Amino acid sequence: MTNVSHVTSFTLKGFVELQKHKYLFFAITLNEYILIVICNSVLISIICLNKVLHEPMYIFLCALCVNALYGTIAFYPKLLIDLLSDEQVISYEACIIQIFIHYSYAMSEFSLLTVMAFDRYISICKPLQYNRIMTVSFVKALLFTAWCLPIFMVSILIALTTRLTLCGSVLERICCDNWSVVKLSCQDTSVNNIIGLLLLIITVFPPLFFIIYTYMQIISICVKNSREYRSKAFKTCVPHVVAFINFSINVLFEIIHSRLQTTVPHIIKILMSIEYLVIPPVLNPIIYGLKLQEIWKRLGTVICVKRISQSK
């Protein structure tokens, strides 16, 4: 990757207000990151170590947790270092890598949530065909697409950004984002804007419409069935619905912050810009861990076995 601009690093100006209470923010951020790592790692371990959970629904959930760890690794360590530093600087290469990870994480999250909606749709609306449709090879293909397609799209975005000559090196953020870097360009950025909006539309709207469609079908089927059937469907669908709405709202905040001019206080802008990296990674495993009974049972078994072994 060749940097054709004279800019070799960026100064992150979003830390100005955070520096007033940097130790408090450092403690909150560190605890948040530890919680994310623990919650997602525990869920991944439970699913991987228990063959009973080697079903599509839990495999997709495991993928969602892996994606959370992937997305936050480019954000939290750097943020923790910057909170305790006098100067918040990031190299051009590190900034591009951070953009790549953040954007591919966000796109993969949408893809995985869409795949999970499809899985729930087949399970509830076509239960007799579930095993025939959701084969091991098909599940692998869905996961491959959910991860590789976002990587391909983000690669296009990064390629367009790295061709630009930059005339500035100050980002009004606490982490790098593509639009902030593009705005520093001395060149015409029309192509970047058009491609960026197209990729945004492709990433957000097809999954949104598909998920709405699947849940309309699920609701239609549930209405026609017994209360017990509706209860079972409700328990498996609620975590997914909450996860999708939560992530969509957080991404919407990021779009509003990066693309639109707002008059909200600077600290609120900062929170809006990073919510998709803060809330979903810790909330998703907690939601699924509490709502999906099979995971809760397995976690209880692990805790009981550990206590028995310690008592011996």
Using the structure block, give the residue that is written with the tokens 């990296």. 277
Total number of domains constituting the chain: 1
Q: Which of 51-55, 230-234, 267-271 shows the lowest mean pLDDT across its residues?
A: 267-271
Q: Specify the long-range contacts of residues 284-288, CB closer than 8 Å, at least 24 apart.
A: 284/64, 284/65, 284/68, 284/239, 284/243, 284/246, 285/39, 285/40, 285/42, 285/43, 285/65, 285/68, 286/39, 287/239, 287/242, 287/243, 288/43, 288/61, 288/239, 288/243
DSSP assignment of 14-33: GGTTGGGGHHHHHHHHHHHH
For residue 3, is it within any domain?
Answer: no
Question: In the structure encoding, which two tokens stand for residue 211, read together?
Answer: 């998920």
The answer to the question of residue 2 being in a domain is no
Percent of the chain with pLDDT over 90: 40
pLDDT per position as a tens digit, 274-292: 778 888 898 888 887 766 6
- State residue 1's pLDDT score: 42
**pLDDT of residue 84 exceeding 80:** yes
Given this model, what pLDDT does residue 3 score? 45
pLDDT score, position 181 = 92
Residue range 133-148: mean pLDDT, rounded:
94
Average pLDDT (202-219) is 90
Range ranked top by mean pLDDT from 175-184, 266-275, 297-306: 175-184
Q: Which whole-number Å values give the CA distances from 157 to 53, 179, 307, in the listed order?
A: 37, 10, 50
Domain at 69, CATH number: 1.20.1070.10
pLDDT exceeds 80 at position 75: yes
Indicate the pLDDT class of residue 77, thresholds 50, 70 and 90: very high
Give the three-class secondary structure for 166. Answer: strand
Name residues whose C-beta falls within 8 Å of residue 43's C-beta, 6 or more positions apart in sequence.
Answer: 61, 62, 65, 285, 288, 289, 295
Give the model's pLDDT for residue 112.
94
Res 261: pLDDT: 59
- Of 111-125, 210-224, 240-254, 279-293, give the lowest mean pLDDT range: 279-293
- For 12, the 3-state DSSP assignment is strand
By C-alpha distance, which of 7, 9, 21, 3 is closest to 270?
Answer: 21
The proportion of the chain whose per-residue pLDDT surpasses 70, expressed as a percent, equals 87
307 falls within a domain: yes
Residue 200 forms part of a structural domain:
yes
Report, as an integer, the average pLDDT of 253-260.
68
Host domain of residue 150:
9-311
Structural domain contains residue 4: no
Q: Which amino acid is at 159?
A: A
Q: Which of residues 249 and 270 earns the better pLDDT score?
A: 249
- Any domain includes 192: yes
Provide Rg for the chain, Cα atoms: 21
Give pLDDT, residue 18.
74
Domain assignment present for 1: no
pLDDT at 2: 42
In terms of Cα–Cα distance, which of 68, 62, 67 is closest to 45? 62
pLDDT at 300 over 70: no
Residue 138, in any domain of the structure: yes
pLDDT value of position 173: 85
Contacts of 210 (CB under 8 A, 6+ apart): 114, 117, 118
